[in-house]
Structure 1
Amino acid sequence: MNDPIQTLPAVVRRATERHRGRPAVIDGDAVLDYADLAGRCEAVGRALIAAGVGFGDRVAVWMPNRIEWILAACGAHMAGAVLVPINTRMKGAEAADILERSRAKVLYSIGDFLGQHYPAMLDGLRPPTLETVVVVGSGSPRAGEIAWADHLARGAAVAPSAVHEREAQLHADSTADLMFTSGTTGRPKGVMAGHEPTIRAFTEWARVVGLGEGDRYLIINPFFHTFGYKAGWVAAFLCGATVFPHQVFDADAVLERIQSDRISFLPGPPTLFLSMLAHPRLAGFDLSSLRSAVTGAASVPPVLITRMREELGIRNVTTAYGLTECGGCATVCDPSDSAETIANTCGKALPGTEMRCVDAQGRSVPPGEPGEVVLRGYHVMQGYFEDEAATREAIDEQGWLHTGDVGVVDERGYLRITDRLKDMYISGGFNCYPAEIERLMAPHPAVAQVAVIGVADERLGEIGCAFVVRRPGAELSEADCIAWCRRQMANYKVPRHVRFVDALPTNASNKVDKKSLRADWACGEN
């Protein structure tokens, strides 16, 4: 076992050998021991081969955090397939777009969740390339769907050697996943990432943040996001921690689980910890097991780090920075850093990662001077799926990934994010892209034009404000517009404010002047 691990199936098999006798995943009454992890994942791989999935085919997963998500993902990797996670907050049209563009052959979908049958949201939208829909959890399969248990039963006819042959074809640079992330074009782009870069980056991440063998890891960050997937259960399997999936954030439930499940490791956005700290019965919960926490994804007030240490009793608190295009993590603070450093910076670059702040001509700026953050290293994405133009725009000829974030690097090499070149804003830990939200709002029959900006919010960090020009003679209220948006898009994308204007301001290039809109918002708030 001295050879370096280069593929995610190899991570699973090594974990089974090293950590047998310890729980790998505890999901309610379902307990999966590390001893059984590889076998359970292999059964999914056999089922996928039985379903006609070939090497390199795409397999999508559309469900909340639960044990089957992990098994489906690991089984897909063992079958030599490429994993396509889908956000559970997406509506049917959004999910169908990703399924169609990725040409996913199989979809693992939750059945009944949050008051609806998820596969039903694809009615009339299911692309012809989607051959199999596997329904997980409650909710009986309908015509054209198959239950999880029946899907696995069909795989029994496939010999385990077929999975082993697929695994043998994988190598360090094989594409492991295709994660769709929104962008300024208004349409999500598929980020391709390899097996070995994920393993290398999150082995280092786990070392720095202190995730280790025997930790009890409550994963609230969704598995469809790199934080819940790669910094989540992949990192846990790399070091022998136990995964506790959590589906929907609720401060009461999280505090109860920390107490009852003796959770020791808990990452999450600042809103998670702020909600815990604001709980009226916080002092009544036993949080003594909670040892480590990682936060980020939004601005972090220094007082939050201090309160997490003093009021929640978390000894190791740290922050990190990354984006899907670099595998989810590029910089990280050390837990021993001061509260001021952890709150005001994103830490130093991971070993093997180069980081600079550059001016408009691509020249490095001096320490303390703002510039665009660019990254280069082993975990920069392979590119955007079937989009060479967007790939060339994001990664220059020297291999530098242009993040679109403006930051400052100090003399110690610590990064502080100060602004964004793009219009993206972060709401409750989720990246929100105005161009995509505008595209989704455009079909409204009363909307002639719309422009979205991010505005400050005490609880979520930032929320969306839509400036709307109504069509002549059309009637539309703020409440009706927001309600319509809730039916069309994921909740975190829905603008919380709508302002009606006669016309949108434009600049000399006839583009919407969002600086003017931000100024208008600021004037209205004062």
Structure 2
Amino acid sequence: MNETENEITGQKESLLQKNIYINIWTKIRRISKLSYLHNVGKEPLRPLTFGLLLEDTVQKHGDKCAIISTHQNKKFSYSEVLHQADRLAAGLINIGFQNGDRVGIWAPNLIEWYIANMACARAGFVMVAINPAYQPKEMEYCIKKLVFALNTFEDLKNALSQHLNEYVFISRGTHNFNEILDLADAKSIKLIKNNQDNIKIDDPCNIQFTSGTTGQSKAAVVSHFNMVNNGFYVGKRNELGKKHHKICVQVPLFHAFGTVITISASLNYGSTLMLPSPILKKARKENISPEIAVTGGAICSPQLFKDMLEVLNLKKVKSVYGLSETTAVVFQSLYDDDQRKSTSTVGYIQDHIEAKVVDANDKIVPIGAPGELCLRGYSVMLGYWEDEEKTKETIGPHKWLRTGDQFIIDENGYGKVVGRLKEMIIRGGENIFPREIEDFLNTHSDILETHVIGLPHERLGEEVCACVRLKEDRTITLDEIKKYCKGNIAHFKIPSVLVIVDNFPKTASGKIQKFKLIEIVKNNKVNKEVI
């Protein structure tokens, strides 16, 4: 058989094995009737550091384009990335950085961001991915050493002088980016190359700040092992191994979506990243025909899935679910999932991951019942940086990580997010999950986006408040909302308060901060319509 026939045969065998595996687990779960999953995986985990993964990719795909920065008019092959990363790593070592130092990257999506990330891995630094929108006060919480920034040097020096030991700027400051590259010499570059075996797969690789939907962000520490393997399995589910792909980066690199689902996945399969995404304006110029879109990071409505398929003329839309605390992805659409599974669930559990859904007493709930999702496996973070108490609250003695998400696992092993535990509304003793109401109201022709919150109520405990953002030049009343809901959702779920907003408070990664939304509404900072 030729190479193409072998590939097709391998795909069929892999699909058959996957279906056999799912069928076995479906039967077991129907017998047990409990919301527990363990996907043991068909391939072993990869014992590589992120820096050695780059070497491995260069050996396989050295001449392939690793990254194109369209707005900078720059591109690098994988061989060039390795060379630039080792030069930068050597230069940083020569100005005093040491193995294990935390190195913050504070910049928008630039090719220098990508190279700096690789340099950190090659030198054994802990890369701290920082939102470029952060202001000096927020920066103080995040970092000790700042490497790359696009703010003014004086502003940072005045605000952070007690917290930073070294400043390196792309265009200004005590050290210019290119000057750092020039500080490298043959001896220091050789030192970087020879030091790879001294960096351990379980060493910290990245500090990822959580999205802060319920308060201050926490610093989740993930290892090289976490990063390499989660990227491998994410890329596999996203079909990167079937042929060479270009990945249009629609997300910030500082987010787990950027560091793992794009960078690590592309590195595992020799794919090409494109910054910023040319998917709309430059698709023809770069000879790109979008095939697959991946959505994650926040709950996505079925209507948005439909719009993505139609507007972008895609073949597929895939879902992923995960947390910064689990490196990135733990549930994801399978290769052959139909549109219903892709839009109504967050996919099937990832390889080498365990999941269970528990009640308030930590008992596993029956299949299809809601409860808190708990996860265990290789992708669980090392912990929160210098916060042992919070780490113990999140990861129990048996290594189960509590997600804080209300979740349902169906009889086929697919997951569905119902909402956050803290977001559940209890109205007159009835448990109400905002997601259900939000998805229904988003089908209204005048509504662009809906978020449902609970407000204090003297008799019922809480009442349902729908906060909606309308399409341009549209109006809606609470009475119209009630009529639209009647006969479609239970009477106790129908909103009794309506708030029209122009925008919603969000984190940098686009997640709605409902705690802030509740404060805004409770403090009467918006117009409310109440029964």
Fold match, TM over 0.5?
yes
Range moving further from structure 2, 87-96 or 150-159: 150-159
Cα distance in 2 for residues equivalent to 1:493 and 1:134: 31
CA contact (8 A) 1:89 1:491 kept: no
| 1:450-492 CA-partner distances (Å, limit 9, x unpaired) | xxx9945468xxxxxxxxxxxxxxxxxxxxxx9xx99xx9696
**CA deviation after TM superposition for structure 1 residue 497, in Å:** 13
Is 1:73–2:117 an aligned residue pair? yes
**CA deviation after TM superposition for structure 1 residue 514, in Å:** 7.5
- Alpha-carbon RMSD across the aligned residues, in angstroms, is 3.6
Counterpart of 1:31?
A: 75
**CA deviation after TM superposition for structure 1 residue 521, in Å:** 8.1
Range moving further from structure 2, 295-304 or 39-48: 295-304
Trace 1:45-84 onto structure 2 (pairs within 5 A): 45-84=89-128
CA contact (8 A) 2:226 2:381 kept: no
Secondary structure at 1:419 match in 2: strand
CA contact (8 A) 2:149 2:168 kept: yes
Is 1:232–2:233 an aligned residue pair? no
- Going from structure 1 to structure 2, the CA distance change for 1:385 and 1:3 (only over 3 Å counts) comes to closer
**CA deviation after TM superposition for structure 1 residue 77, in Å:** 1.2
Q: How many percent of aligned residue pairs carry the same amino acid?
A: 27
Counterpart of 1:150?
A: 179
Secondary structure at 1:73 match in 2: helix
**CA deviation after TM superposition for structure 1 residue 91, in Å:** 1.4
Cα distance in 2 for residues equivalent to 1:455 and 1:123: 41
Is 1:210–2:235 an aligned residue pair? no
Cα distance in 2 for residues equivalent to 1:44 and 1:82: 15
Unaligned segments of structure 2, at least 5 residues: 1-43, 425-433, 436-450, 454-464, 472-502
Is 1:259–2:272 an aligned residue pair? no
Counterpart of 1:132?
A: 166
| 1:136-162 CA-partner distances (Å, limit 9, x unpaired) | 2xxx524xx221111211223752222
**Which of 60, 63, 67 pairs up with 1:18?**
60
CA contact (8 A) 1:357 1:408 kept: yes
Unaligned segments of structure 1, at least 5 residues: 111-116, 248-252, 264-288, 427-431, 435-452, 460-481, 500-512
Counterpart of 2:207?
A: 178
Letter in 2 for 1:12: L
| 1:342-364 CA-partner distances (Å, limit 9, x unpaired) | 11110111011111111011111
CA contact (8 A) 1:96 1:122 kept: no
Trace 1:33-432 onto structure 2 (pairs within 5 A): 33-99=77-143, 103-104=144-145, 106-110=146-150, 117-136=151-170, 140-142=171-173, 145-156=174-185, 158-183=187-212, 186-212=215-241, 213-246=243-276, 254-263=279-288, 289-422=289-422
Letter in 2 for 1:46: A
Cα distance in 2 for residues equivalent to 1:519 and 1:419: 25
CA contact (8 A) 1:92 1:125 kept: yes
- Going from structure 1 to structure 2, the CA distance change for 1:56 and 1:492 (only over 3 Å counts) comes to same
Secondary structure at 1:261 match in 2: coil
Q: Give aligned pairs, total.
A: 418
CA contact (8 A) 2:298 2:511 kept: no
- Going from structure 1 to structure 2, the CA distance change for 1:491 and 1:335 (only over 3 Å counts) comes to closer
**CA deviation after TM superposition for structure 1 residue 120, in Å:** 4.5
| 1:47-70 CA-partner distances (Å, limit 9, x unpaired) | 111121111111110011111101
Cα distance in 2 for residues equivalent to 1:301 and 1:354: 26
Cα distance in 2 for residues equivalent to 1:107 and 1:496: 33
CA contact (8 A) 2:227 2:327 kept: yes
| 1:192-242 CA-partner distances (Å, limit 9, x unpaired) | 101112211221111111124521111121010010111112211110111
> Where in structure 1 do 4 or more consecutive aligned residues deviate above 6 Å?
489-499, 513-516, 518-522
Secondary structure at 2:312 match in 1: coil
Secondary structure at 2:280 match in 1: helix
**CA deviation after TM superposition for structure 1 residue 495, in Å:** 8.6
Secondary structure at 1:524 match in 2: strand
CA contact (8 A) 1:216 1:262 kept: no
| 1:277-306 CA-partner distances (Å, limit 9, x unpaired) | xxxxxxxxxxxx111111133333334434
- Going from structure 1 to structure 2, the CA distance change for 1:185 and 1:367 (only over 3 Å counts) comes to closer
- Going from structure 1 to structure 2, the CA distance change for 1:490 and 1:404 (only over 3 Å counts) comes to closer
Secondary structure at 2:167 match in 1: strand
- Going from structure 1 to structure 2, the CA distance change for 1:336 and 1:4 (only over 3 Å counts) comes to closer
CA contact (8 A) 1:177 1:192 kept: yes
Cα distance in 2 for residues equivalent to 1:231 and 1:41: 20
| 1:246-283 CA-partner distances (Å, limit 9, x unpaired) | 18xxxxx64112232233xxxxxxxxxxxxxxxxxxxx
CA contact (8 A) 2:103 2:126 kept: yes
Secondary structure at 1:26 match in 2: strand
**Which of 521, 525, 529 pairs up with 1:524?**
529
Cα distance in 2 for residues equivalent to 1:362 and 1:341: 28
Secondary structure at 1:161 match in 2: helix
Normalised by the size of structure 2, how large is the TM-score?
A: 0.71
CA contact (8 A) 1:409 1:416 kept: yes
**CA deviation after TM superposition for structure 1 residue 369, in Å:** 0.7
CA contact (8 A) 1:42 1:163 kept: yes
Cα distance in 2 for residues equivalent to 1:344 and 1:458: 24
CA contact (8 A) 1:107 1:130 kept: no
**CA deviation after TM superposition for structure 1 residue 171, in Å:** 1.7
- Going from structure 1 to structure 2, the CA distance change for 1:395 and 1:295 (only over 3 Å counts) comes to same
**CA deviation after TM superposition for structure 1 residue 168, in Å:** 1.8
Secondary structure at 1:146 match in 2: coil
Highest relative contact order (Cα 8 Å, sep 6+), 1 or 2? 2
Cα distance in 2 for residues equivalent to 1:332 and 1:97: 32
Secondary structure at 2:91 match in 1: helix
Cα distance in 2 for residues equivalent to 1:16 and 1:24: 10
Counterpart of 1:462?
A: none
- Going from structure 1 to structure 2, the CA distance change for 1:187 and 1:3 (only over 3 Å counts) comes to closer
- Going from structure 1 to structure 2, the CA distance change for 1:151 and 1:306 (only over 3 Å counts) comes to same
CA contact (8 A) 2:91 2:184 kept: yes
Cα distance in 1 for residues equivalent to 2:317 and 2:510: 26
**CA deviation after TM superposition for structure 1 residue 399, in Å:** 0.8
